[in-house]
Amino acid sequence: SSQIDCAPSSATRKPPVAGVRETERGASMSPQPHFLVLTFPLQGHIAPALRLARRLLVAAPDALVTFSTTEAAHRRMFPAEADAPDSGGGDDCRLELLPFSDGTETGYVRSSTDPAAFTDYMASFQAAGARSVGELVDALAVRGRPVTRVVYTMLLPWAADVAREKGLPSALYWIQPAAVLAVYYHYFHGHAAVVADHRHDPSFLVRFPGLPTQAVRDLPSFLTESTDPSDFFHSVYTTVRDLFDTLDRETPRATVLVNTCQELEEGALAAVGAYDALPIGPVLPSGDEAGLFKQDDAKYMEWLDAKPADSVVYVAFGSLARMEREQLDELLLGLEETGRPYLCVVRKDIKAELADGEASETEMDAPLKNGMVVEWCDQVRVLSHAAVGCFVTHCGWNSVMESVACGVPMVCVPKMSDQRMNAWLVECEWRVGARAEVSGDGVLRAAEVRRRVEEVMREGEAAGGARRAASEWKAAVVEALGKGGSSDRNLRVFLEGITSGVSL
């Protein structure tokens, strides 16, 4: 709403001043709660961070929030003042959007396949980021808007160090499942060797304290592939290692907000007892939200409106996954063969890559009998549409949480990071989907697409199948997020910790 929405570019338009409410506070009162929410500049990190920022504002009506990501991402999210929604926000804006520097003009540009380029970026992000965030904290204090707590997502362990140096409490905001938090925790606390010894054996079973047995192939890829210094993502591995070191330095215990809910991950949450882990999710968008991608026009919603309930297969692989021509062809062929209507996201950058690699014009615009292809959609709106009966997903945690919150069963096509564990949760823990297997050459074949989509859609039609489980989990999530629900209560515990000045 306009009350809590600052015009996104207000940060660059004029210096922020103390909120009206602050001036109403007596000098003896504790400072107005002010959360600085920091995030890595990826869509899958920005979205849950921005959603949390908005939830904090709603849950704590006297709090201020500053949302901050890198300058390049900030410019992409809010391209020009003219594009900024007119919120009518005045000096009492409670949400401010202020970027920090990662030491680069453009951010990380993916065109390079040189692993050193990514490692260099991560080093710059860390060094310049820590400096710049420190300056931001100081500048906000000078302006009479002092930060009272730093909240940071997973690839910014240095944010906790900056907070500590400034005498501020911090909280990690974990944007993956509690199960993955627990695996990382135990890996870095005594279980690294067993994983290292068997990392080339995908079916080897590992038992971490408090967790069900896991196959090595389902563990986060940063632990099985990226421990090798020559791996492209080795710097992600070292950053995650730094994160768990940082959490160990927190006294008495680190606070970790987790984008999950108690009901979904009871056991895994208990397995991270070393932290004050507070499940406060799944965080969901409240209306339109800014992001790194421009949405297609909403024709796809009209297209969905014309389809029967639970008939459409929605297909999307998030903001990062790439796709070869052969894979795209197999995918579309498999979808066509189901004979069901489908809405498939093929991002603009993937189309461009495919077109670059081919002499002929890309076939993307070839007539698709049953399908519609878009470059980017409002995924939560799509998943909320009654016509959508199944989601073929790469199992990024945001996508999984959005699908669970909307009660849509899934076909899982995980690749990297936490996606394989997320798929395991979907298939084995909550029974709201099926995992598709790629063939030996790493390609998901058309026949497998058709088979898994049919399995999930048929189970949807059958009593007691994936769709019924999905609607039961949806109800549990609605309850958790509602007033007095587990996530709502946990967010309040977090807020009370700050308003009373007590570090949780």
Q: Note whether 318 binds ligand UDP by CB under 6 A.
A: yes
Is position 398 an interface residue for ligand UDP (rule: CB under 6 A)? yes
Whichever of 170 and 319 has its CB closer to ligand UDP, that residue is 319
Q: What is the 3-state secondary structure (H, E, C) of 108-163?
A: CCCCCCCHHHHHHHHHHHHHHHHHHHHHHHHHHHHCCCCCCEEEECCCCCHHHHHH
- Segment contacting ligand UDP by CB under 6 A, of 86-94, 227-235, 317-325, 485-493: 317-325
Among 117, 320, 364, 438, binds ligand UDP (CB under 6 A): 320
345 contacts ligand UDP (rule: CB under 6 A): yes
- Residue of the chain from 319, 338, 486, 490 that contacts ligand UDP (CB under 6 A): 319
Quickly count: other Cβ atoms within 10 Å of residue 298's Cβ: 13
Closer to ligand UDP at the Cβ: 134 or 282?
282
| Burial letters 436-446, b for 16+ CB under 10 A, else e | beeeeeeebbb
Q: Which of 10, 39, 43, 403 forms a contact with ligand UDP (CB under 6 A)?
A: 43
Q: State the minimum distance, in angstroms, from the CB of residue 73 to ligand UDP.
A: 13
Interaction between residue 397 and ligand UDP (CB under 6 A): yes
Give whichever of 133 and 345 is closer to ligand UDP, judged by the CB atom: 345
| Residue whose token pair is 């990826």 | 42
The amino acid present at 98, given as its one-letter code, is L
**Residues 131 to 160: which contact ligand UDP by CB under 6 A?**
none
Closer of 11 and 380 to ligand UDP (Cβ)? 380
Residue 350 within binding range of ligand UDP, rule CB under 6 A:
no
Q: Is 284 in the site for ligand UDP (CB under 6 A)?
A: no
Name which of 282 and 341 has its Cβ closer to ligand UDP. 282
- In the list 53, 268, 315, 316, the residue contacting ligand UDP (rule: CB under 6 A) is 316
> What DSSP assignment string belongs to 344-373?
EE--HHHHHHHHHT-SSPPGGGS--SSEEE
Q: Does 126 bind ligand UDP (CB under 6 A)?
A: no
What region, left, alpha or beta, does residue 201 occupy, with left being phi > 0 and alpha being psi -120 to 50 degrees?
beta
CA distance 94 to 90: 9
* Contact with ligand UDP (CB under 6 A) among 396, 407, 433, 460: 396
Distance CA 441, CA 51 (A): 38
Residue 216 to residue 223: CA distance in whole angstroms: 9
Rounded distance between C-alpha atoms, residue 369 and residue 420, angstroms: 32
Give whichever of 211 and 400 is closer to ligand UDP, judged by the CB atom.
400
Give the position of tokens 């909120």.
Answer: 19
CA–CA separation, 286 and 110 (whole Å): 30
Q: Residue 379 interacts with ligand UDP (CB under 6 A)?
A: yes
Q: Which of 174, 171, 147, 245 is nearest to 504 (CA)?
A: 171
Of 256, 260, 252, 251, residue with least CA distance to 272: 256
Judged by CB under 6 A, does residue 414 bind ligand UDP? Answer: no
Examine residue 129 and tell whether it contacts ligand UDP (CB under 6 A).
Answer: no
Identity at 488, one-letter amino acid code = D
Question: Given the complex with ligand UDP, which of 237 and 376 has the nearer CB atom?
Answer: 376
Q: Of 69 and 148, which has the nearer Cβ to ligand UDP?
A: 69
Active site (annotated) includes residue 189? no
Binding range to ligand UDP, per CB under 6 A, among 79-87, 89-97, 264-272, 391-399: 391-399
Most distant CA pair in the chain, distance: 71
182 is an interface residue for ligand UDP by CB under 6 A? no
- For residue 220, state whether it binds ligand UDP (rule: CB under 6 A): no
Radius of gyration of the chain (CA): 23
Q: Which is nearer to ligand UDP, 361 or 365 (CB)?
A: 365
- Angle 46-188-209 (CA atoms, 0-180°, nearest 5)? 105
Please identify which of the residues 34, 45, 74, 234 carries the catalytic annotation.
45
220 neighbors 415 (Cβ within 8 angstroms): no
Decide if residue 47 touches ligand UDP (CB under 6 A): yes
**Contact status: 371 vs ligand UDP (CB under 6 A):** no
Rounded to the nearest whole angstrom, what is the least distance from the CB of residue 304 to ligand UDP in the complex?
A: 13
Binding segment (CB under 6 A) for ligand UDP, from list 22-30, 80-88, 103-111, 371-379: 371-379
Contact window for ligand UDP (CB under 6 A) among 229-237, 274-282, 395-403, 435-443: 395-403
3-state DSSP call for residue 446? helix
CA distances from 6 to 11, 80, 88, 92, 377 (A): 9, 15, 8, 9, 24
How many residues in the shown chain lie near ligand UDP by CB under 6 A? 18
Q: Does 44 bind ligand UDP (CB under 6 A)?
A: yes
Catalytic residues: 45
Which residues of the shown chain bind ligand UDP in the complex (CB under 6 A)?
43-44, 47, 316, 318-320, 345, 376-380, 396-399, 402
